[in-house]
Amino acid sequence: MIHLKQIEHAFTLGRKGNERHVPVLKGIDLTVNSGEIVTLIGRSGSGKSTLLHIVGGFIRPTSGTISIASQDTTAYTEGQWADFRRRHLGVVFQNFQLIPSMTAYENIELPLVLQGTAPTVRRKLTLELMEQLGIAEYSDHYPSELSGGQQQRVGIARSLILNPPIVLADEPTGSLDSENEEQFLQLLKSLNRERKLTLLIITHDDKVAAIGHKTLRIEDGRLLNQTDTRKLEVIHS
């Protein structure tokens, strides 16, 4: 489902003529199979967020190739990536990135509005998903009126509303307390099981990493090792 080959990336610092290139990713090879949960664990600055942003098309790698859903997305333009994400990818952000002036319902419905879906269909799909995720009663609430766990459910509902086969999650429990974190992890596992979602999750938390079918560790821009957590093995920091 996701195939990265020899991905390299460096940030450029300084002014033109006096640039300094800082390598962030160094020859990353990564495969995520259909219906698989892969968790990527690493400390802050290890390159894991950069890697996720490359998979999502928010950053273009310095070199290497990207194939997602059998499509070579390496040279996609911003417009092509936007269209591809709309059809294939859902993204769950650490800080939720909800629009504060919109209700929970409106935040979730927004991708359908942008897609041009008919109002009656939008309402049906949005309310059904909110009911499934246990947030239907907060339909008219604004983000400031929701707890962290409720905001996170709104965020994941928005990422799922177009029914993507792949979901990318960037430190999805970083703003949650332990109770909400556990509920959210159970939600991800049930969505993977029921919808056959392919999930790529980055984290610095061993508890989050443990829900993956595979756990990969990234350090200093390199993938170091791989563990199949179905064998009850977990990589610890």
pLDDT over 80 at 227, yes or no: no
- Secondary structure (H, E, C), the chain: CEEEEEEEEEEEECCCCCCEEEEEEEEEEEEECCCCEEEEECCCCCCHHHHHHHHCCCCCCCEEEEEECCEECCCCCHHHHHHHHHHHEEEECCCCCCCCCCCHHHHHHHHHHHHCCCHHHHHHHHHHHHHHCCCHHHCCCCHHHCCHHHHHHHHHHHHHCCCCCEEEEECCCCCCCHHHHHHHHHHHHHHHHHHCCEEEEEECCHHHHCCCCEEEEEECCEEEEEEEHHHCCCCCC
Structural domains present in the chain: 2-231 (3.40.50.300)
Whole-number average pLDDT of the chain: 87
This prediction has a pTM of: 0.83
Digit-coded pLDDT (tens) for 174-211? 777 788 788 888 888 888 998 899 999 999 888 888 99
